[in-house]
């Protein structure tokens, strides 16, 4: 019989999408009644403010991302340990059965019964493995949505003060090929998002 696979697909590093978020400030007025001034490197329009965030850096330094990822990786490890134990047990039963067959210790009816049991256990093992993979994939999707929601909701509040027309996403292999470093607000966003998250945790 085949050796049943046991390793669950590893957790992939999350690539949270923040592409072209927020189109707030265009057409809005600042507190003094004059539109906030800046420079749009795409259009040359001096009345539009633009900034960008490196999402890889943001995730690698956002406290909540590490906590959510650890919850998933801990669960993944528990699943792998459980599946590994079940695999060893099933393999032992298969080896015992093969040994008895080779020694001629089983009746044909007994062989058929044991083979049916082993096949059923093997199918149950594969089904459990699929269920665990599905659970982990679902949890990863939920984690992605939580992180995306965190970023979008934070930037809405953040932009009330800064009044950017566009906040773009920069990530390795992403669509933003070049941007002036002076437009980079990544670390300011990271600092303030972590401060907000710590304050929210302290309340709970």
pLDDT tens sequence for the chain (204 residues): 444 333 333 333 333 333 333 333 333 333 332 233 444 444 555 568 999 999 999 999 999 999 999 999 999 999 999 999 999 999 999 999 999 999 999 999 999 999 999 999 999 999 999 999 999 999 999 999 999 999 999 999 999 999 999 999 999 888 899 999 999 999 999 999 999 999 999 987
Q: What is the pLDDT of residue 37?
A: 44
How many angstroms separate the Cα of 97 from the Cα of each of 79, 93, 108, 130?
27, 6, 12, 26
Q: How far is CA 163 from the centre of its chain?
A: 30
* Contact of 112 with 34, CB cutoff 8 Å: no
* Contact of 38 with 156, CB cutoff 8 Å: no
Q: What is the pLDDT of residue 151?
A: 96
Q: What is the pLDDT of residue 46?
A: 56
Q: H/E element holding 166?
A: strand 166-170
* SS3 at position 172: coil
Say how many CA atoms lie within 13 Å of 187 toward its Cβ: 2
Q: How does 138-147 read in b/e, with b if 16+ C-beta sit within 10 Å?
A: ebbeebeeeb
Q: How far apart are CA 181 and CA 176, in angstroms?
A: 13
């Amino acid at each position: 019989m085949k050796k049943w696979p046991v390793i669950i697909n590893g957790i992939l590093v999350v690539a949270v999408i923040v592409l072209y978020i927020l189109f707030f400030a265009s057409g809005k007025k600042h507190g003094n009644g004059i539109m906030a001034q800046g420079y749009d490197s795409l259009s040359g329009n001096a009345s539009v403010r633009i900034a960008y965030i490196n999402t890889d850096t943001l995730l690698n330094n956002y406290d909540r991302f590490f906590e959510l990822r650890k919850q998933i990786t801990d669960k993944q490890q528990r699943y792998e340990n459980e599946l590994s134990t079940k695999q060893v047990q099933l393999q032992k039963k298969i080896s015992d059965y093969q040994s008895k067959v080779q020694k001629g210790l089983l009746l044909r009816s007994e062989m058929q019964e044991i083979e049916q049991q082993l096949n059923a256990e093997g199918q149950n093992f594969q089904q459990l493995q699929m269920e665990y993979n599905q659970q982990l994939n679902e949890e990863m999707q939920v984690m992605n949505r939580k992180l995306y929601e965190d970023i979008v909701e934070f930037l809405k509040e953040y932009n009330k003060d800064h009044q950017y027309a566009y906040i773009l996403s920069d990530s390795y292999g992403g669509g933003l090929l070049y941007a002036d470093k002076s437009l980079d607000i990544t670390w300011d966003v990271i600092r303030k998002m972590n401060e907000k998250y710590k304050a929210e945790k302290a309340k709970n």
